[in-house]
Amino acid sequence: MKVTVFGTGYVGLVTGACLAETGHDVVCVDVDEAKIAALKEGQIPIFEPGLDSIVINNVESGLLAFTTDAESAVAHANMIFIAVGTPPDENGSADLKYVLNVARTVAQYMSRETIIVTKSTVPVGTADKVSAAVAEALQSRDVDIPYYVASNPEFLKEGAAVADFMKPDRIVVGTDAESVEAAMRELYAPFNRNHDRLKFMDVRSAELTKYAANAMLATKISFINEIANIAECVGADIEQVRAGIGSDPRIGYHFIYPGCGYGGSCFPKDVKALVSTASQVGYRAPLLEAVEEVNQAQKSRLFSKLSAALDGDIAGKTFAVWGLAFKPKTDDMREAPSRVLMEAIWAAGGRVKAFDPEAMNETQRIYGQREDLQLMGTKEACLHDADALVICTEWKNFWAPDFDAIKNSLKTPLIVDGRNIYNPHQMTELGFRYIGIGRGN
Ligand SMILES: NC(=O)c1ccc[n+]([C@@H]2O[C@H](COP(=O)([O-])OP(=O)(O)OC[C@H]3O[C@@H](n4cnc5c(N)ncnc54)[C@H](O)[C@@H]3O)[C@@H](O)[C@H]2O)c1
Ligand SMILES: O=c1ccn([C@@H]2O[C@H](COP(=O)(O)OP(=O)(O)O[C@H]3O[C@H](CO)[C@@H](O)[C@H](O)[C@H]3O)[C@@H](O)[C@H]2O)c(=O)[nH]1
């Protein structure tokens, strides 16, 4: 099938590349000229495992093309995906300006019956707004072209985006139109072979399903972080508690890893947006408000622990920071806990030597040159003459380091571990002062 995708970020690029990989004929369009120029050259603007090869192969085979020309992109297909950003506005609601701009652009150029599919994460009722924007633009052109607006929220995780898209747990489609259902079945047939993963529902339910999924996952994380904080106060080890509760299949092991708070471009903004949606219809959502509040506090705990371990004496000291991305296998630093930690260290007069396997360029882009931040080429290089090591992201490469070398390099053998990747007893035996999350210290 011919498909057009607006937006070449994490979702748009992965959607376009994965649809092309299964034989669809895809054009991806973006307003960012530099990004499109780079993609045309085979340069992938984000680090996402497996993405570069499917983009390059499908561009070569002619099934995937990139453009900034919206008119030709709309002419390419009568199934058009909107996969642009929905950042929070000043009230925490999702800002729909990019989504509605695309809707108007599509209406400006479309010449035949068109299915417009919202893949961006959008609040309940957005399909109606998209529909109204299209209707208005068509009216101002004085044309009457039939169109449908469907919802098809995306559930991929960064760092596993290609794998998630290729093997989805479910594909949610909100539509009331049988013809749209048939088109979506055809589009997703390659992803739907052994089990029927397609879940058709009404548009509002599809829009809410996306927020409900993210809010549920964020709730699990804030829940375990709160239990971790209680564990600290009562001298229990959250890792043993986690194993104890996760073995109950009603609870499960997924998304109950305690840490330094959830980050990324989705959970923080989507929980806030759902709280905002609820409040707009007169419902206060105290559980979701608490999920957000616990997470904010959790992100500050690494610095509090570091500062407490040094009796508040941060000024003039240097700290090795391992892991800058908000999670492993990505270079994305949006809402990353590492940023809260580093900014607190700097505010207190400390310095940072940092390493991340993929997010060094992104860190440089965000913070530029500053004399209290040194980006080091290896994790070992951060340690020399540092007053402590702080771990923000659980990259696999950090799990089994040479502990003797760490001890020899650090000025004091202090490790603050925001992801609980080491064994506290072993660390004590090795002579470290080891502070984890929810581990009785
Ligand atoms: N990042 C994720 O893991 C993820 C997963 C599921 C859902 N989502 C949702 O998907 C949406 C997109 O997220 P993302 O992370 O891919 O965003 P992103 O910021 O990485 O990319 C958005 C892209 O849209 C482009 N754009 C903006 N206006 C445009 C226009 N008028 N025409 C064409 N392109 C335009 C931007 O230039 C940018 O390249 C958001 O609603 C997000 O919540 C994200
Ligand atoms: O047990 C856990 C699991 C995750 N996290 C943190 O939670 C954040 C988000 O992680 P993850 O969900 O793996 O990454 P995202 O790429 O943000 O993906 C989420 O957000 C996407 C955008 O909406 C959705 O599509 C995905 O289904 C949803 O998992 C990261 O900071 C993780 O460190 C924890 O602290 N503990």
pLDDT (tens digit per residue) in 338-386: 999 999 999 999 999 999 999 999 999 999 999 999 999 999 999 999 9
Question: Distance of alpha carbon 367 from its chain centroid, rounded?
Answer: 20
Mean local confidence (pLDDT), 186-207: 96
**pLDDT value, residue 168:** 97
Residue of 32, 44, 104, 265 best suited for mutating to test ligand 1, as the one with most atoms within 8 Å of CB:
265
Q: Check whether 30 is labelled as a binding-site residue.
A: yes
pLDDT band at 194 (very low <50, low <70, confident <90, very high): confident
Q: How far is the CA of 267 from the centre of ligand 2 (A)?
A: 7
Q: What is the pLDDT of residues 13-25, one digit of tens each?
A: 999 999 999 999 9
Ordered strands of the 433-435 beta sheet: 373-375, 351-355, 318-322, 388-391, 414-417, 433-435
Euclidean distance between CA atoms 430 and 210, whole angstroms:
46
Q: How far is CA 33 from the centre of its chain?
A: 23
In three-state secondary structure terms, 179 is: helix
Q: CB neighbours (10 Å) of residue 194?
A: 5
List, for residues 352-365, the tens digit of each pLDDT value.
Answer: 999 999 999 999 99
pLDDT of residue 422 exceeding 80: yes
Closest CA to 127 of 141, 138, 116, 136: 116
Instruction: State the angle between helix axes of 97-109 and 126-141 in degrees (0 to 180), rounded to the nearest 10.
Output: 40
Asked whether the predicted pLDDT for residue 398 surpasses 80, the reply is yes
Residue spans of the domains in the chain: they are 2-201, 216-435
What is the widest separation between alpha-carbon atoms in the chain? 78
2-201 and 216-435 agree in CATH topology:
yes
Percentage of residues in the chain with pLDDT exceeding 90?
Answer: 98
Our answer on whether the CB atom of 121 is closer than 6 Å to any ligand 2 atom is: yes
Answer yes or no: are the C-beta atoms of 100 and 94 closer than 8 Å. no
Whether residue 441 has pLDDT greater than 70? no
For residue range 79-125, what is the model confidence (pLDDT) as tens digits?
999 999 999 988 889 999 999 999 999 999 999 999 999 999 999 99
pLDDT at 154 over 90: yes
Q: State whether the beta carbon of 214 lies less than 6 angstroms from ligand 2.
A: yes
pLDDT of residue 68: 98
Query: How many Å apart are CA 101 and CA 105, to the nearest integer?
Result: 6
34-52 mean pLDDT: 95
**Residue 246 is assigned to a ligand binding site:** no
What is this model's ipTM?
A: 0.98
Does 440 score more than 80 pLDDT?
A: no
Class of domain 2-201: alpha beta
- How far is the centre of ligand 1, averaged over its atoms, from the C-alpha of 85 (Å)? 4
Ligand 2: distance of its center to the CA of 225 in Å? 14
Which tokens belong to 146?
């039939």
Fold of 216-435: Rossmann fold (3.40.50)
The residues lining ligand 1, judged by C-beta closer than 6 Å to any ligand atom, are: 6-12, 29-32, 35, 83-86, 98, 101-102, 120-121, 154, 156, 158, 265-266
> How many CB atoms are closer than 10 A to CB 413?
18
Nearby residues of 103 by Cβ (< 8 Å), 6 or more positions away: 82, 116, 129, 130, 133, 134, 137
Mean of the per-residue pLDDT values of the chain: 97
What share of the chain in percent tops pLDDT 70?
100
pTM, entire model: 0.96
pLDDT of residue 8: 98
DSSP string, 291-330: HHHHHHHHHHHHHHHHHHHTTT--TT-EEEEE--SSSTT-
Q: How close is the Cα of 217 to the center of ligand 2, in Å?
A: 8
